[in-house]
Structure 1
Amino acid sequence: MNGISGKIGRWVAILACGLAVVCSAPVSAERIKDLASVQGVRNNQLVGYGLVVGLDGTGDQTTQTPFTTQSIINMLAQLGTTLPTTQSLQLKNVAAVMVTANLPPFARIGQQIDVTVSSMGNAKSLRGGTLIMTPLKGADGMIYGQAQGNLMVGGAGASAGGSRAVVNHLLAGRIVAGATVEREVPTMLGQGPYIHYELGNTDFGTAQRMVEVINREMGFGTAQALDGRVVRVVAPEEPSARVAFMGRVENLDVRPMKTIAKVIVNPRTGSIVMNQMVTLDACAVAHGSLSVVVNTEQQVSQPNALSGGQTVRTQQSDIEIKQSGGALMQVRAGASLSDVVKAINALGAAPQDLLSILQAMKAAGALKADLEII
Structure 2
Amino acid sequence: MFHLFRPLQRLLPATALLGALLLALPHAAQAVRLKEIAAVQGVRNNQLVGYGLVVGLDGTGDQTTQTPFTTQSLNAMLQQMGVTVPPGTNMQLRNVAAVMVTAVLPPFALPGQAIDVNVSSMGNAKSLRGGTLVATPLKGADGQIYALAQGNLVVGGAGASANGSKVQINHLSAGRIPEGATVEREVATPLQQGDALHLGLNAADFDTARQVARSINRAKGEGTAQALDGRVVRVRMPVSPDARVAFLADIENLQVELARPAAKVVLNARTGSVVMNEAVTLGACAVAHGSLSVTINTTPQVSQPNPFGQGQTVVTQKSDISITQQGGALVELPAGARLADVVKALNLLGATPQDLLAILQAMKTAGALNAELEVI
Q: In structure 2, do the counterparts of structure 1 residues 63 and 291 end up closer, same or farther at CA, with 3 Å as the change threshold?
A: closer
Paired residues of 1:127 and 1:152 also in contact (CA < 8 A): yes
Paired residues of 2:274 and 2:353 also in contact (CA < 8 A): no
Residue 342 of structure 1 is matched in structure 2 by 347
User: What does 1:275-354 align with in structure 2 at a 5 Å threshold?
Assistant: 275-289=277-291, 324=326, 326-334=328-336, 336=339, 337-344=342-349, 346=350, 349-354=351-356
Structure 1 vs Structure 2 CA RMSD: 2.5
Deviation at 1:351, TM superposition (A): 4.1
Task: Work out which of the residue numbers 218, 228, 231 in structure 1 matches 2:230.
Answer: 228
Residue 271 of structure 1 is matched in structure 2 by 273
Q: Which runs of 5+ in 1 are unaligned?
A: 1-20, 296-319
Deviation at 1:266, TM superposition (A): 1.7
Counterpart AA for 1:108: L
SS at match of 1:33: helix
Q: In structure 2, do the counterparts of structure 1 residues 85 and 100 end up closer, same or farther at CA, with 3 Å as the change threshold?
A: farther
C-alpha distance in 1, partners of 2:145/2:325?
Answer: 66
Paired residues of 2:30 and 2:259 also in contact (CA < 8 A): no
Identity over aligned residues, as a percent? 65
Q: In structure 2, do the counterparts of structure 1 residues 214 and 128 end up closer, same or farther at CA, with 3 Å as the change threshold?
A: same
SS at match of 1:126: coil
* 1:59-94 C-alpha deviation (Å, 9 max, x unpaired): 000111111111112222222322124211111111
Deviation at 1:356, TM superposition (A): 1.8
C-alpha distance in 2, partners of 1:151/1:268?
Answer: 31
Instruction: Return 195-204 or 74-83, whichever deviates more.
Output: 74-83
* 1:2-24 C-alpha deviation (Å, 9 max, x unpaired): xxxxxxxxxxxxxxxxxxx9x94
Task: Work out which of the residue numbers 35, 56, 59 in structure 1 matches 2:58.
Answer: 56
C-alpha distance in 1, partners of 2:119/2:323?
Answer: 55
Deviation at 1:350, TM superposition (A): 4.2
User: What does 1:1-374 align with in structure 2 at a 5 Å threshold?
Assistant: 24-189=26-191, 191-289=193-291, 324=326, 326-334=328-336, 336=339, 337-344=342-349, 346=350, 349-374=351-376
Q: Which runs of 5+ in 2 are unaligned?
A: 1-22, 298-321
Deviation at 1:163, TM superposition (A): 2.4
Paired residues of 2:54 and 2:133 also in contact (CA < 8 A): yes
Paired residues of 2:99 and 2:123 also in contact (CA < 8 A): yes
SS at match of 2:143: coil
Counterpart AA for 1:231: V
C-alpha distance in 1, partners of 2:71/2:264?
Answer: 51
Residue 5 of structure 1 is matched in structure 2 by none
Instruction: Return 139-148 or 283-292, whichever deviates more.
Output: 283-292
SS at match of 2:211: helix
C-alpha distance in 1, partners of 2:233/2:119?
Answer: 39
Residue 312 of structure 2 is matched in structure 1 by none
Q: In structure 2, do the counterparts of structure 1 residues 268 and 236 end up closer, same or farther at CA, with 3 Å as the change threshold?
A: same
Q: In structure 2, do the counterparts of structure 1 residues 194 and 32 end up closer, same or farther at CA, with 3 Å as the change threshold?
A: same
C-alpha distance in 1, partners of 2:156/2:171?
Answer: 7
C-alpha distance in 1, partners of 2:168/2:80?
Answer: 37
Paired residues of 2:334 and 2:345 also in contact (CA < 8 A): no
Counterpart AA for 2:97: A
* 1:75-132 C-alpha deviation (Å, 9 max, x unpaired): 2222232212421111111100010111111110100000010101110111111111
Q: In structure 2, do the counterparts of structure 1 residues 190 and 226 end up closer, same or farther at CA, with 3 Å as the change threshold?
A: farther
Q: In structure 2, do the counterparts of structure 1 residues 365 and 161 end up closer, same or farther at CA, with 3 Å as the change threshold?
A: same
Residue 313 of structure 1 is matched in structure 2 by none
Return the structure number with greater relative CO, CA threshold 8 A, min gap 6: 1
* 1:215-268 C-alpha deviation (Å, 9 max, x unpaired): 111001111111111111111021111111111111111011221111111222
Deviation at 1:277, TM superposition (A): 1.6
Counterpart AA for 2:355: D
Q: In structure 2, do the counterparts of structure 1 residues 135 and 322 end up closer, same or farther at CA, with 3 Å as the change threshold?
A: closer
Counterpart AA for 1:44: N
Counterpart AA for 2:286: A
C-alpha distance in 2, partners of 1:170/1:85?
Answer: 33
Q: TM-score of the superposition, structure 2-length normalised?
A: 0.81
Q: TM-score of the superposition, structure 1-length normalised?
A: 0.82
SS at match of 2:75: helix
Q: How many residues align?
A: 327
Q: In structure 2, do the counterparts of structure 1 residues 78 and 31 end up closer, same or farther at CA, with 3 Å as the change threshold?
A: same
